[in-house]
């Protein structure tokens, strides 16, 4: 998978502070993925951007939109969600890869790194298919949302009663000097 450049010719804006124009892009961006989330390659990422010429370069702002597919961190079920990410980034003359700004080279800028950074940062670390997903049973592996698990609940009140009894016996034995019986 090779990175694609989403190059924009902004030579008309360079050196014209105050000038601006809108641009709309829809591009396939391969390799947008984390372990549990991905933007499918066949689904384009769209952006409606305002390009504003400023003294330092070109300011790019607007929403980045698309669809990401995720796997629920609890039950592993795949699901899709729309994303809508507002961005505002400066493409500056002479910016290097270590700078906060993106580079603007000879009147051209590449939107791909900005889109990649915004989308990957927005990918949830533990996506959930729904807020109250019950997940998979750790013992039988059944999907508890679907009632596939018939295991006893983890904390059975009957066991805690027995534990309390044991505790009482342990405390009584060393304290009493002789056996009452």
Which residues contact Zn ion (rule: CB under 5 A)?
72, 74-75, 129, 133, 137, 139-140, 142, 149, 151
**Do 104 and 110 contact (CB within 8 A), yes or no?**
no
153 contact partners, CB below 8 Å, separation of at least 6: none
Minimum distance from CB of 140 to Zn ion (Å)? 3
Nearest to 123 by CA among 4, 38, 28, 41: 38
CB of 76 to Zn ion, least distance (A): 7
Q: Is 106 left (phi over 0), alpha (psi -120 to 50) or beta?
A: left
Residue appearing with tokens 């990401």: 68
Query: Which is nearer to Zn ion, 19 or 128 (by Cβ)?
Result: 128
- The nearer residue to Zn ion, 56 or 143, going by C-beta atoms, is 143
Which residue of this chain has its Cβ atom nearest to Zn ion in the complex? 137
Q: Which is nearer to Zn ion, 11 or 130 (CB)?
A: 130
Closest approach, Cβ 68 to Zn ion, in A, equals: 16
CA atoms of 34 and 68, how far apart (whole Å): 11
Q: At closest approach, how far in Å is the CB of 159 from Zn ion?
A: 17
Nearer to Zn ion, 33 or 137 (CB): 137
């Amino acid at each position: 998978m090779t990175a694609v450049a989403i190059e924009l010719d902004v030579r008309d804006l360079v050196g014209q502070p105050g000038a601006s124009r809108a641009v709309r892009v829809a591009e396939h961006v391969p390799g947008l993925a984390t372990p549990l989330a991905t933007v499918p390659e066949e689904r384009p990422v769209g952006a409606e951007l305002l390009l504003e010429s400023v003294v330092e370069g070109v300011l790019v702002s607007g929403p980045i939109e698309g669809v990401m597919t995720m796997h629920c961190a609890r039950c592993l079920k795949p699901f899709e969600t729309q994303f809508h990410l507002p961005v505002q980034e400066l493409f500056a003359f002479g910016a290097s890869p270590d700078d906060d700004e993106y580079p603007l080279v000879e009147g051209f800028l590449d939107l791909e790194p900005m889109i990649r950074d915004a989308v990957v940062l927005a990918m949830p670390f533990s996506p959930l298919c729904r807020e109250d997903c019950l997940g998979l049973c750790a013992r039988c592996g059944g999907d508890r949302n679907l009632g596939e698990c018939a295991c006893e609940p983890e904390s059975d009140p009957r066991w805690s009663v027995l534990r309390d009894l044991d505790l009482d016996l342990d405390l009584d034995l060393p304290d009493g000097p002789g056996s009452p019986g």
